Chain A
Amino acid sequence: MDPEYLFSEAPRRQVFITGSEAVAEAVKRANVDIAIAYPITPQSESMHLVGDLYDQGYLKDYYRGENEFAVMAAVHGASLGGGRVFTATSGPGTLRAMEMFPVWAGSRQPVVCAFMCRGVSLPPSIQPENIEMAMLLDVGMLMFHAEDAQDFLDMILKAYAVAEQPDVHLPVGVFADGFFVTHTRSAVLLPPDDLKLAAYDPRRAPVPTFDMETPPIRLVRDPLLNKSNFISYAANASWHQEIAAAAERARKHIRRYMGGLLEVEDPAAVVFLAASGTAVSQSREAIKVLRAEGIRVGLIKIMSIRPFPVREIEAVTAHADLIVVPEFNIGGWLAREIKAAIDNNRRVVGGPRVFGGMTMPTELIVNEVRNALSRPGTRQPGMRAGI
């Protein structure tokens, strides 16, 4: 079956489910060979529900790893062996497993992992925030950020289609803000139960599949590092250029399957809210309020964080006076990315920011836009452009 039929053409039915249930619905249709779980708090029900899918025969294998690092290493092995794999993690678990993410990218494995972003300690918070995404920006994996449960389902399915392209063949992290997506119940449109992605074909991979019964022990035992430092760094450097190039080549596949790396509403506006994840939903509410006050604000929803839609953002904001970037983390990584992408980046206002699990009230975004518009010399959008 053509994956595009599953993604956008097949008739869908509406259900009222959580983001975690949406993950399981995606995995059910993704023809996954093996899923490995470390279901501990803070996580989500998703890997538990994926375990139920194994029980129902949707997966060939499923087990619980010893910890997050072990899980990420195990899915790597399963992927090297030619399987389509899935796992999920969250906040502190992501950090514990950190060493494996550049390894997935380095061995060019199309692992798909869901990240249910949560606060990282101390003091402990198991509530939503997405600072872990900042820590993963340069590990070599592709990163998609889901706004809601619908996105989460669709992006996981599409992640496999992008990840497994022979000219990409990289891991994809599909991120959603914990609780606001994972535990939130909302209307989701489901593709039919009896459709699934075609099986992963490891023969199309740009790297050889490992026969795990007779592993290529020379590779494992005699790494380049033991031969010569020069060979080691030369190989590492050139290989990482190739990983970066593969991520660039993913852009065309993301455009094909996801309709673009970002979405824009009201492109003629001169004031924008630019966001990813749950901050997009909160921005939509703020835009409604601002419009009711006669302030016209457009929306830039960034779906692909890696690769980052630099050219698209440049083009969309070429005529913009103000770009406000609300975020669910203290670092403001998205504002930094946008500032690095465009000229005259004083136009970018990084904020509001909430973290540690706080909700982002609509009023906070509305106030940020109002305050930014009251800066001396800022043109007033409501007066210049009708709604």
Chain B
Amino acid sequence: MTNKSRTFIRMSGLGGQGVVTAAHILGVAAVKDGLKCVVNPFFGAEKRLAPAESYVRIAADEIWERGEVLFPNIIMIFHPHVITLGKCYTMPFFAGLQRGGKIIINSDRPLDLREEELAQLKELGAEVYYVPATQTAVEAGGTALSSNIAMLGALLAVEALVSPEAIRDAIAERFGGGKFVASGTTAALDDVLKSKFDRLAQLIEKNMAVVAAAQGRVSKHHY
């Protein structure tokens, strides 16, 4: 259910981009900031580049609802193909967006959205933002694998849902603590990440640099 004291986020991306991990980090950060949060992913048989979505519900009060976020306040699109190739569980990509909702798209240039889509978005009072998240991840973090972290940076720039300190702690916990295994595939990707950044501290700092850089590279679409 939707209501003003709650923020419901839908993250749409491609398998391997880290939408599940981004939701995980955001959720942990929200809890660290004393908020209530429920995070869940939706994907099919795990495979790279297939549509993958995850959902984050953040609120001050208890959240019971589970499953897909059908009426998001914020939609985060992790790859242009979600829109241009329709790699998405929901069509159009902004289906269910609440009035005055926000959309953050990872693209280094504005997408060629259809007239009718733009008209619908305008009618909804939607704020559309672009961020070159993959490019920012490569430049500031040295790897495109941090695109999901750049998307979190863009989110912070658009809506200060959680504190940057909480994001830092959540990143440290996600990549540093325990022997968390989301799946064999995710574990393999984590290992790639860890070998790219040889030390955990460096990994966290680089990711925070990605967060900061992405915050500065968000541009608002004007209808």
Contacts and interface: CB of A to CB of B under 8 A. Distances in A.
Contacts of B1: 285-286, 288-289, 362-363
A363 B1 CA distance: 7
Interface stretch (A91-99, A184-192, A310-318): A184-192
A285 B67 contact: no
A16 B37 contact: yes
Interface stretch (A44-52, A80-88, A203-211): A44-52
Interface stretch (B23-31, B144-152, B157-165): B23-31
Interface in B48-84: 64-68, 70
A291 to B, nearest CB: 12
A45 B181 contact: yes
B45 interface: yes
A284 interface: yes
Contact of B39 (A184, A359, A360): A184
Interface of A: 16, 41, 45, 48-49, 52, 126-128, 148, 179-181, 183-187, 278, 281-282, 284-286, 288-289, 359-363
Contacts of A284: 64
B64 A281 contact: yes
A45 B182 CA distance: 7
A361 B65 CA distance: 8
B40 A183 contact: yes
Given A52-B179, A184-B39, A41 B66 contact: no
Interface in B94-114: none
A48 B67 contact: no
Contact of B65 (A126, A187, A285): A285
Contact of B38 (A128, A184, A288): A184
B27 A16 contact: yes
21 contacts: A16-B28, A52-B181, A128-B67, A179-B42, A179-B67, A180-B40, A181-B66, A184-B40, A184-B66, A185-B23, A185-B24, A185-B38, A185-B40, A186-B37, A186-B38, A186-B39, A187-B36, A282-B66, A288-B1, A289-B1, A361-B70
Contact of A180 (B28, B46, B67, B183): B67
B66 A180 contact: yes
Given A16-B31, A49-B181, A179-B42, A359 B67 contact: yes
Given A127-B42, A289-B1, A282 B181 contact: no
B180 to A, nearest CB: 8
Contacts of A285: 1, 64-65
Nearest to A283: B64
Contacts of A359: 66-68, 70
